[in-house]
Amino acid sequence: MDTQALALALPLIGWASHTALLTHRLATARRDPLTGLRTRAGWTALAERVIRRHPDAVVLLLDLDDFKHLNDSHGHAAGDFALVVTAERLSAWCGRHGIAGRLGGDEFVAIARQAPNLDSLPHALRQPIAYAGHRLPVSVSVGSCQVKDLPVRSLSDALATADCAMYAAKGTAGRRGTRPLHR
C-alpha cells in the first residue's frame, strides 16, 4: 500500500472504529447488565411506539416488596438472583406481545399490546425462588393501566396511573402522597 492510500485510509479506519465503539456503548446502555432487560431509555422509546399503535395496550409497574430485607437476610447475590428470576418471569409473561424493562433497583416496567392475562402475572411473580438450598419468598406489587382508559394516551400518564395502582396494591399512599386512581 502506498503512502497516499494509507494517509487516506487511516482516518476512515479511525472513524469506523470510533463508530463501532459508540454503537456498542449505546446498545449496552439500553440493556440492563444484570437482567438483560431494556433500561428506562430503551424501554421508553419502544413503549411510546406501542401506545401510539395499540389502543388496547396495558402498562405495568412492578416493585419487589421487602427487597432490602431479602438482601440483608440472604446477601446481595441472592437479591441479584431474585432480580434476574423476576426479569425472566416478567419477560415470559409479556411473550412476543410485550416489552419488559428494569427501571433500576427493584423496579420493573412492562407494556403489552393486549394484556395476556393480568391475573396470572402476580401469581407467577410471587412463586418462591430456589437459591443456594433455600426457598426465597418473593412478593411483588403490581400496578397496571389500560391505556384506552386514559383521557389522553400518553406513556407518562399511563406510568403515573400504574404507579398509583401499584402503591394501592402495597396498601400505602405512595411515594408522592395520596392520589386517586384514574379508571
What DSSP character marks residue 111?
Answer: E
CB 146 within 8 A of CB 86: no
pLDDT category of residue 27 using cuts at 50, 70 and 90: low
Of the chain, the percentage scoring pLDDT greater than 70 comes to: 81
Comparing 8 with 41, which gets the higher pLDDT? Answer: 41
| pTM over 0.85, yes/no | no
Average pLDDT across the chain, whole number:
85
In order of 2, 113, 121, the CA distances from 163 in angstroms are 64, 19, 16
CB 65 within 8 A of CB 112: no
Helix (H) or strand (E) holding 136: strand 134-136
pLDDT tens digits, 138-173: 999 999 999 999 999 999 999 999 999 999 988 765
Q: What are the grid coordinates assigned to 133, written together?
A: 438450598
Q: Look at residues 146, 78, 144 and name the one whose alpha carbon lies nearest to residue 106.
A: 78
pLDDT category of residue 85 using cuts at 50, 70 and 90: very high
Amino acid letter, 124: A
> Is the pLDDT reported for residue 181 higher than 50?
no
> Is the pLDDT reported for residue 59 higher than 60?
yes
